[in-house]
Amino acid sequence: MRHLLTASMPRDEAIGLLDLAEDMHQIQDRELKKLPALRGRTVVNLFFEDSTRTRSSFEIAGKWLSADVINVSGKGSSVSKGESLRDTGLTIAAMGVDGVVVRSGASGAPALLADWIGRPVVNAGDGTHEHPTQALLDAFALRRRIHGGAARGKALDGVRVAIVGDIAHSRVARSNALLLPALGAEVTLVGPPPLLPPAAADGSRLGVRAEPSLDRVIDERPDALMLLRVQLERQAGKVAPSAAEYITGWSLTDERLARLGDAHLLHPGPMNRGLELSSRAADSDRSAILEQVTAGVSVRMAVLYSLLASDHPSAELGGAR
- Which residues carry a binding-site annotation for L-aspartate? 81, 171, 229
Q: Which residues pair with 68 in a beta bridge?
A: 42
Q: Name the segment binding ligand CP (CB under 6 A); options: 73-81, 143-151, 194-202, 268-276.
A: 268-276
Comparing CB distances to ligand CP, the nearer of 52 and 84 is 52
The stretch among 112-120, 161-169, 197-205, 265-273 that binds ligand CP (CB under 6 A) is: 265-273
Q: Which of 62, 268, 318, 319 binds ligand CP (CB under 6 A)?
A: 268
Residue 52 in contact with ligand CP, rule: CB under 6 A: yes
Which residues within the stretch 32-51 sit at the binding site for ligand CP (CB under 6 A)?
51
Task: Choose between 218 and 271: whose C-beta lies nearer to ligand CP.
Answer: 271
- The answer to the question of residue 269 lying near ligand CP (CB under 6 A) is yes
Q: In a 3-state reduction of DSSP, which class is residue 249?
A: helix
Question: Minimal distance in Å, beta carbon 169 to ligand CP?
Answer: 14
Q: Where are the alpha helices (DSSP H) in 236-278?
A: 243-250, 254-259
| Distance in Å, CB of 270 to ligand CP, minimum | 6
Which one of the spans 80-88, 181-189, 266-274, 300-308 is the region binding ligand CP (CB under 6 A)? 266-274
Of 86, 270, 273, 274, the one binding ligand CP (CB under 6 A) is: 270
| The one segment of 66-74, 141-149, 254-262, 267-275 that binds ligand CP by CB under 6 A | 267-275
- Neighbour-count burial of 82, counting CB atoms closer than 10 A to its CB (0-12 exposed, 13-18 middle, 19+ buried): exposed
Kindly state the helix (H) or strand (E) to which residue 190 belongs, with its residue range: strand 186-190
Number of residues that make up the chain = 321
Q: Which residue from 6, 42, 45, 54 is in contact with ligand CP, where contact means CB under 6 A?
A: 54
Contact 301, 260 (CB under 8 A): no
Q: Order of strands across the sheet with 68-73?
A: 68-73, 42-47, 99-104, 121-126
Contact 287, 20 (CB under 8 A): no
| CA-angle at 39, arms to 38 and 44, nearest 5° | 65
**Residues that constitute the known binding site:** 53-54, 81, 103, 131, 134, 171, 229, 269-270
Report whether 165 contacts 250 (CB < 8 A): yes
Rounded to whole angstroms, what are the CA distances from 113 to 87, 137, 149, 181?
A: 10, 24, 37, 28
Cβ proximity to ligand CP, 74 vs 207, nearer residue? 74
Stretch that binds ligand CP, among 52-60, 152-160, 195-203, 310-318 (CB under 6 A): 52-60
Task: For residue 196, give the amino acid letter.
Answer: L
* Comparison of 26 and 52: residue with beta carbon closer to ligand CP: 52
Q: Do the beta carbons of residue 200 and residue 206 sit within 8 Å?
A: yes
Interface with ligand CP, residue 170, by CB under 6 A: no
Site string for ligand CP, 69-108 (x = CB under 6 A): ----------------------------------------
Report the nearest approach of ligand CP to the CB of residue 53 (Å): 4
Q: Does the footprint of ligand CP cover residue 128 (CB under 6 A)?
A: no
Q: Which residues of 270-282 are buried (b: 16+ CB within 10 A; e: fewer)?
A: ebbeebbbbeebb
